[in-house]
């Protein structure tokens, strides 16, 4: 009888989920919502007449090496080992291979002990934040930023502090940044190449950022970790170099993902790099190992760990993304839009043709164009285009973008 009454109270409006989750459900990701809207419009107008630029889902096939590696592993290696548990930080030989690859590329001196295999970069960020945050600790990031950062920080009762954007070139606003550092600042998250702008943070920017952090650590008597979120590191154009941050600031933690570099987003595979010179290195590694377990990941997926370790030099065909970038960027500029040309990733961050970016996004829907408002990235007045789609989708969408511009600029 008591159970029956409780069930009915719930049906009558008793709150059945936590306050924190209720807020998150009610403010669910605009990107995912747009993705669902795309499916709805496709059912009405036909998929070929809907131009969905909302989701950063890689459109280029994984390199052939991935398929070959998986087949070879399944045929050659012991099934009990392939599908079994391992150290929470991942297979030691996989971590050693990754460390050697990084050393070769960037002149670092990592070993297996510096690598923690993670469930994508997102899992890695949650692991390191779990390791370092106490309730009320602050994490700084630069607008525009990937909106999930706020949720990742909130997971551990931290506070996300956002630095106002530098809309001239979308390099970090360092003067504003320094003003935001306090005794509660535990970490700074940067993302380069950046989602949503596609901008690569220059070496000059990184050097100045590191100098500020060193100075503030001494002034405040604290340790501030720099978390470099790097799912787009390999997706760069025109010979642009992406600085490797552990070489500039010892308290850097790198979160890497193979989702974009090898087009494996659904496999959820990545890693953390924690340099030996980082303050509290031993504690950080031990904590990351435990955090991987208690957050419910236990370990990164086993088969794909072993596969990526054989494909560390493989890459997707970035020329396909570059072709899309050139067509979309040049076309939009010719229609009167304003945009900083992206140096990496597969996004354009374009100035909306009215102040209210959400209204502009709704206006674009009338042309069956699905884009994401800049306010979802902490930068109102802009919108993001994910051009990781088939080239023909961009071609078919251009008349709609042109008509949309004409409605505002006539």
**Same-domain pairing of 55 and 168:** no
User: Is 18 among the domain residues?
Assistant: no
User: Is 9 among the domain residues?
Assistant: no
Please identify, among 247, 282, 309, the residue that sits at the C-terminal boundary of a domain: 309
The DSSP line for 115-177 is EEEESHHHHHHHHHHHHHPPTT-EEEEESS--THHHHHHHTTT-EEEEEPP-TTT----HHHH
**Same-domain pairing of 211 and 175:** yes
**Same-domain pairing of 144 and 254:** yes
Residue owning tokens 């719930």: 10
User: Is 20 among the domain residues?
Assistant: no
- pLDDT for 26: 76
**Same-domain pairing of 285 and 168:** yes
**Same-domain pairing of 288 and 323:** no
User: Is 324 among the domain residues?
Assistant: yes
Please name every residue paired with 118 in a beta bridge, in sequence order, or none if there are none.
Answer: 270
**Same-domain pairing of 222 and 115:** yes
Please identify, among 309, 335, 355, the residue that sits at the C-terminal boundary of a domain: 309
Please identify, among 283, 309, 335, the residue that sits at the C-terminal boundary of a domain: 309
**Same-domain pairing of 137 and 160:** yes
Tokens of 287: 């904590």
Chain CA centroid to CA 40, Å: 26
- pLDDT for 11: 54
Mean pLDDT, consecutive 10-residue stretches, the chain (410 aa), reads 42 75 76 76 87 94 97 96 95 98 98 98 98 98 97 97 97 97 98 98 98 98 98 97 98 97 96 98 98 97 98 97 98 98 98 97 96 96 98 98 94
Domain range for 370 is 28-60+317-409
Interatomic CA distance for residues 410 and 323, integer angstroms: 30
Neighbours of 169 (CB within 10 A): 10
User: Is 15 among the domain residues?
Assistant: no
**Same-domain pairing of 54 and 145:** no
**Same-domain pairing of 215 and 292:** yes
User: Is 12 among the domain residues?
Assistant: no
**Same-domain pairing of 232 and 287:** yes
**Same-domain pairing of 175 and 216:** yes
State the burial class of residue 108 (Cβ atoms within 10 Å of its Cβ: 0-12, 13-18, 19+): middle
**Same-domain pairing of 202 and 77:** yes
User: Is 14 among the domain residues?
Assistant: no
Q: Is 200 helix (H, G, I), strand (E, B) or coil?
A: coil
158: domain CATH number is 3.40.640.10
Of the candidates 217, 237, 220, the one whose C-alpha atom is nearest the C-alpha of residue 325 is 237
The whole model's pTM is what? 0.94
Tokens of 202: 């220059």
User: Is 1 among the domain residues?
Assistant: no
Of the candidates 259, 331, 305, the one whose C-alpha atom is nearest the C-alpha of residue 60 is 259
Number of domains composing the chain: 2
47: domain CATH number is 3.90.1150.10
């Amino acid at each position: 009888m008591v159970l029956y009454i409780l069930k009915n109270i719930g049906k009558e409006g008793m709150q059945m989920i936590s306050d924190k989750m209720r807020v998150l459900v009610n403010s669910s990701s605009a990107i995912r919502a747009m993705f669902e809207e795309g499916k709805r419009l496709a059912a009405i107008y036909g998929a070929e007449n809907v131009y969905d630029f909302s989701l950063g889902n890689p459109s280029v096939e994984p390199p052939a090496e991935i398929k070959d590696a998986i087949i070879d592993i399944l045929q050659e290696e012991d099934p009990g080992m392939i599908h079994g548990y391992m150290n929470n930080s991942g297979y030691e030989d996989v971590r050693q291979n990754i460390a050697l690859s990084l050393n070769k590329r960037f002149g670092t001196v990592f070993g297996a002990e510096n690598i923690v295999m993670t469930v994508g970069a997102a899992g890695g960020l949650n692991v390191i934040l779990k390791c370092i945050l106490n309730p009320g600790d602050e994490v700084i990031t630069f607008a525009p930023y990937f909106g999930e950062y706020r949720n990742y920080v909130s997971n551990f009762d931290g506070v996300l502090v956002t630095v106002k954007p530098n809309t001239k070139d979308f390099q970090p606003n360092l003067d504003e940044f320094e003003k935001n550092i306090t005794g509660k600042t535990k970490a700074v998250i940067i993302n380069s190449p950046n989602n949503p702008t596609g901008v690569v943070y220059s070496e000059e920017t990184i050097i100045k950022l590191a100098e500020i952090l060193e100075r503030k650590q001494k002034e405040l008597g604290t340790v501030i970790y720099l978390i470099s979120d790097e799912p787009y590191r390999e997706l760069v154009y025109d010979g642009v170099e992406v600085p490797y941050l552990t070489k500039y600031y010892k308290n850097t933690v790198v979160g890497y993902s193979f989702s974009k570099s090898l087009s494996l987003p659904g496999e959820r595979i990545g890693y953390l790099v924690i340099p030996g010179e980082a303050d509290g290195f031993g504690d950080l590694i031990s904590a990351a190992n435990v955090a991987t377990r208690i957050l419910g990941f236990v370990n990164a997926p086993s088969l794909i760990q072993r596969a990526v370790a054989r494909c560390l030099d493989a890459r997707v065909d970035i020329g396909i993304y570059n072709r899309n970038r050139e067509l979309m960027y040049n076309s939009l500029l010719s229609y009167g839009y304003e945009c900083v040309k992206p140096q990496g990733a597969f996004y354009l961050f374009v100035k909306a043709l009215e102040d209210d970016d959400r209204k502009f996004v709704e206006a674009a829907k009338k042309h069956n164009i699905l884009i994401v408002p800049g306010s979802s990235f902490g930068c109102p007045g802009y919108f993001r285009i994910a051009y990781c789609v088939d080239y023909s989708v961009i071609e078919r969408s251009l008349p709609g973008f042109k008509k949309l511009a004409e409605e505002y600029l006539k």
